[in-house]
Amino acid sequence: MDRDLRRMVGATFANIPTRKPGLSREAIVMLTRIDHVGIACHDLEEKIAFYESTFGLLVVSREVNEQQGVKEAMLHVADGPAGASYVQLLEPLNPDTPVGKFLVKRGEGVHHIGYGVDDVVAALESIGGTGVRLLDERPRHGSMGASIAFLHPKDVGGVLTELVQAKPR
């Protein structure tokens, strides 16, 4: 790479802000990790077998969540300083659930992204204060005993976003 290009690339990266002006340090570190990627599927057992055989992932939790209308499996990906990350496979209990409707409209694939937070109540308050619409005003029960809440996808770039406060170890 020639000197001018190197200088231009370095200047470009040097000018990328690490935080939005006016945000507190607490707001910057609110998201601690990518907790999981939720993937909608038609056949949970088939997808579990695929992720186990293709990627070597192991199921660490299976649940039926009547409130959310899904059968789910959490497959462990990795551990990090802020906690573990997972692939969450979701099969609808029936076609009129949110995941069932998603499958009809979009087919199998990424349904949502779950971000780890230390305090889901504080995260909801802070994020709601920025104008992002909350699908959950207060936390509800999530996978593996976590407290969770969802943000409106239209306010988060079209991505259904879940905040996850893991169950204390």
Confidence (pLDDT) at 7 = 47
Residue 169: the pLDDT is 76
What torsion do the CA atoms of 141, 145, 146, 150 make, to the nearest 10 degrees? Answer: -30
Nearest residue to 92 via CA among 36, 37, 40, 160: 40
H or E element in which residue 81 lies: none
Question: What pLDDT does 29 receive?
Answer: 53
> Which residues in the chain come in under a pLDDT of 70?
1-29
**pTM reported for the whole predicted model:** 0.81
pLDDT tens readout for residues 56-95? 999 999 999 999 999 999 999 999 999 999 999 999 999 9
Supply the residues annotated as catalytic: 36, 72, 88, 112, 162
Classify burial at 142, counting beta carbons within 10 Å of its beta carbon; exposed 0-12, middle 13-18, buried 19 or more.
buried
Q: Do residues 132 and 151 make contact, with C-beta atoms less than 8 angstroms apart?
A: yes
- Cα four-point dihedral sign 64, 137, 146, 35: positive
The pLDDT value given to residue 168: 86
The predicted structure's pLDDT at residue 98: 95
